[in-house]
Amino acid sequence: MDSTLIAQTYRRFAERECKGYAPTDYDLALAAAGDDDIVAFLTQLPVAQPNLFFAAIQLLAGPDGMPARAALPAFVARRADELAAIMRSRRTQTNEVGRCAVLLPALPPGPLALLEVGASAGLCLLLDRFRYDFGSALIGDPSSPVHLRCAVAGPAPLPPVVPRIVWRAGLDARPVDVHDDDATRWLLACVWADHRDRRRRLEAAIEMARKNPPVVGKGDLVDDLPALLAEVPDDAQLVVFHSAVLTYVAADRRQAFAAILAETSRRRDVVWLSDEAPGVVPELTAPALPSDELRFLLGRTRFTSGRRRDELLAVAHPHGTELTWL
Ligand SMILES: C[S@@+](CC[C@H](N)C(=O)[O-])C[C@H]1O[C@@H](n2cnc3c(N)ncnc32)[C@H](O)[C@@H]1O
């Protein structure tokens, strides 16, 4: 990326993703965009994405030691080699359990077989082990160490209980091993520094997964999907889901993914839940969104005998803190 594009990207990231939500990243993104030396440093890197830069800073400084806006140029100058090494060797990785609150009202009744693509550490596959607070309704295990709060607007069909899950498995191009300390430290560094609650619940979910890890195989969501689909037991409703994943996949691969689900539905019904940015699943037409802030669309597509029926169910905060049912 050239310097003009980098500065624009950082400004847009600040305004669109961080404003009013992540003040530290907001300040740092604007500081980076306005500092020629930092922009020059970023232009030398293969990936200059703001999330990667701030995760690298957080890995070095810790969430409580993030530099202030005015101190960023000196921090980058002092630790340029370490930052560059991290940004060359790592890519941002997330596993946002908050998205389970968005998926929960869209689940069909159990028993369910859950298959997640782009599952990361597989933490969202544990959605029946969390506690959900939707304001008007508390759902799930009251003793769970993972509490998810989601503000709901509109007629969301909140279930009285989490559907029974009888089988679960994930697939990821770069799965995160919950027993690998370096990998989980990086996963935590990718949570925005101000988001202490998100970090705490991610730590709790990792701890939970360490005791009973979900199975996440290494593989591609198109090439390796048929083999995993073949393992799904027949006596459960199959739900294939993903959040913040298809956005990283080319349009023809997204179509190939959907075609596999359509083909699978010739022998069994498939429910496909997608929680992605607008436009990623083109069959889900985005409503006029109220502001410039990034929102995800929750879609449910039912495949039966090779045919699909798409429903746009809700607009959701990318981290699952708000859900507007349509
Ligand atoms: C932003 S993370 C989201 C992780 C998780 N779905 C969540 O909501 O927290 C995107 C994930 O998709 C995975 N991914 C990207 N392209 C993939 C592909 N072609 N096949 C399988 N996984 C892929 C990445 O490795 C990464 O773990």
CATH number at 167 reads: 3.40.50
Q: Is 120's C-beta closer than 6 angstroms to any atom of ligand 1?
A: yes
What is the predicted pLDDT for the residue at 256? 98
Q: How far is the CA of 246 from the centre of ligand 1 (A)?
A: 8
Q: How far is the CA of 91 from the centre of ligand 1 (A)?
A: 11
Report whether 298 contacts 106 (CB < 8 A): yes
Examine the domain organization and report whether 23 and 53 are in the same domain.
yes
Q: How many CB atoms lie within 10 A of CB 303?
A: 23
What domain range is 213 assigned to?
97-325
Q: Are strands 296-304 and 237-243 parallel, antiparallel or unpaired?
A: unpaired
Q: Which of 17, 97, 120 to mutate to test the pocket of ligand 1 (most atoms within 8 A of CB)?
A: 120
What is the predicted pLDDT for the residue at 292? 66
Omega within 30 of 0 (cis) for the link into 318: no
Q: Is 245's C-beta closer than 6 angstroms to any atom of ligand 1?
A: yes
Among 131, 137, 105, 134, residue whose Cα is nearest residue 208: 131
Q: How far is the CA of 151 from the centre of ligand 1 (A)?
A: 25
CA distance 184 to 263: 36
Question: 308: which residues sit within 8 A by CB, 6+ positions away?
Answer: 258, 262, 283, 301, 302
Query: Could you report the per-residue pLDDT of 234-245, keeping only the tens digit for each?
Result: 999 999 999 999
Examine the domain organization and report whether 18 and 104 are in the same domain.
no
| Among 49, 66, 89, residue at a domain's last position | 89
Residue nearest (by alpha carbon) to ligand 1 atom 14:
118
pTM as predicted: 0.92
Q: What number is the average pLDDT over the span 264-269?
A: 98
Examine the domain organization and report whether 19 and 84 are in the same domain.
yes
Q: Is 277's C-beta closer than 6 angstroms to any atom of ligand 1?
A: no
Examine the domain organization and report whether 64 and 103 are in the same domain.
no
